[in-house]
Structure 1
Amino acid sequence: MKRILLNMPSQFGGKPSGVARVAFALIGELVRRPDVAVVLRSPWTRAELPAAWRDAVAVVTVRRPRIVVLDVLAQLVTVPACCRRHAIDVVLNIDPYGAGAGGRARIVVVHDLYFRTIPQSTGPREALTTDWIFRLMLARNHAVVAVSDATRRDLEQHYPAVRGRARVIPSASVLDPAALAVGAPAEVAGPYVLAVGNATHNKNFGLLAEAVASIAHAHPDLAVVHVGEDPADAVAGTLRRLGAASRVVRLSRIDDQRLAALYRGALCLCVPSFAEGFCLPVLEAQALGCPVVCSDRSATPEVAGEGALTFDPTDAGALAACLRRLIEEPALRESLVAKGRSNQARYTWDATARGYADLLDAVLAGADPPPRPL
Structure 2
Amino acid sequence: MPRVLVNMPSQHGGRPSGVALVAFRVIAGLLDRGQVTIVLRSPWTRDQLPEAIRERVEVVTVPRPRVMVLDVLRQAFAVPALCRAEAIDVVLNADPYGAPFGGRARVSVVHDLYFRTIPDSTGLREALTTNLIFRLVLGNSARVIAVSDTTRTSLERFYPALRGRTRTVPSAAMLRAGGATRPPEVATPSEVAMPSEVAPGSYVLAVGNATHNKNFATLARAVAALAPTHPELAIVHVGDDPDDTLAAGLAGAAVRLTRLSRIGDARLAALYRGAACLCVPSFAEGFCLPVLEAQELGCPVLCSDRSATPEIAGAGALTFDPADASALAAGLRRLLHEPGLRADLIARGHANARRYDWAETARRYEAVLLEALRETVRPTPTGEAADAHPAP
Contact in 2 for aligned 1:27/1:38 (Cα 8 Å): yes
Give the match for residue 271 of structure 2: 262
| AA at the equivalent of 2:246 | V
Give the match for residue 362 of structure 1: 371
Residue 42 (structure 2) pairs with residue 42 (structure 1): yes
Superimposed CA distance per residue, residues 26-71 of structure 1 (whole angstroms, 9 cap, x where no aligned partner): 1111111222111111001111110122100001100000000000
The 5 Å alignment of 1:180-191 reads 180=180, 186-188=194-196, 189-190=198-199, 191=202
Q: Whole-Å Cα distance in 1 between the matches of residues 38 and 296 of structure 2? A: 28
Give the match for residue 233 of structure 1: 244
Residue 286 (structure 2) pairs with residue 277 (structure 1): yes
Aligned to 1:52, what secondary structure does the other structure show? helix
Aligned to 2:363, what secondary structure does the other structure show? helix
Contact in 2 for aligned 1:147/1:277 (Cα 8 Å): yes
Give the match for residue 372 of structure 1: none
Moved over 6 A (4+): none
Residue 151 (structure 2) pairs with residue 154 (structure 1): no
Q: Whole-Å Cα distance in 1 between the matches of residues 345 and 53 of structure 2? A: 35
Aligned to 2:109, what secondary structure does the other structure show? strand
Contact in 1 for aligned 2:79/2:101 (Cα 8 Å): yes
RMSD: 1.5
Give the match for residue 230 of structure 2: 219
Q: Whole-Å Cα distance in 1 between the matches of residues 10 and 25 of structure 2? A: 18
63-72 or 32-41, which moves further after superposition?
A: 32-41
Q: Which runs of 5+ in 1 are unaligned?
A: 369-374
Aligned to 2:315, what secondary structure does the other structure show? coil
| AA at the equivalent of 2:292 | L
Q: Whole-Å Cα distance in 2 between the matches of residues 52 and 112 of structure 1? A: 27
Contact in 1 for aligned 2:80/2:102 (Cα 8 Å): yes
Contact in 2 for aligned 1:93/1:107 (Cα 8 Å): yes
Contact in 1 for aligned 2:317/2:349 (Cα 8 Å): yes
Q: Whole-Å Cα distance in 2 between the matches of residues 186 and 366 of structure 1? A: 53
Aligned to 2:39, what secondary structure does the other structure show? strand
Aligned to 1:74, what secondary structure does the other structure show? helix
Q: Whole-Å Cα distance in 1 between the matches of residues 373 and 300 of structure 2? A: 42
TM-score by length of 1: 0.95
Give the match for residue 299 of structure 2: 290
Contact in 2 for aligned 1:187/1:262 (Cα 8 Å): no
Give the match for residue 351 of structure 2: 342
Contact in 2 for aligned 1:187/1:261 (Cα 8 Å): no
Residue 111 (structure 2) pairs with residue 111 (structure 1): yes
Residue 339 (structure 2) pairs with residue 330 (structure 1): yes
Contact in 2 for aligned 1:185/1:261 (Cα 8 Å): no
1:367 CA drift (Å): 8.0
Q: Whole-Å Cα distance in 2 between the matches of residues 265 and 180 of structure 1? A: 16
Give the match for residue 100 of structure 2: 100
Residue 12 (structure 2) pairs with residue 3 (structure 1): no
Residue 209 (structure 2) pairs with residue 198 (structure 1): yes
The 5 Å alignment of 1:61-140 reads 61-140=61-140
TM-score by length of 2: 0.91
Contact in 2 for aligned 1:72/1:99 (Cα 8 Å): yes
Contact in 1 for aligned 2:195/2:258 (Cα 8 Å): no
Q: Whole-Å Cα distance in 2 between the matches of residues 185 and 342 of structure 1? A: 31
Q: Which runs of 5+ in 2 are unaligned?
A: 182-191, 378-392
Q: Sequence identity of aligned pairs in percent? A: 65
Structure with higher Rg: it is 2
Q: Whole-Å Cα distance in 1 between the matches of residues 55 and 214 of structure 2? A: 36
Q: Whole-Å Cα distance in 1 between the matches of residues 361 and 339 of structure 2? A: 35
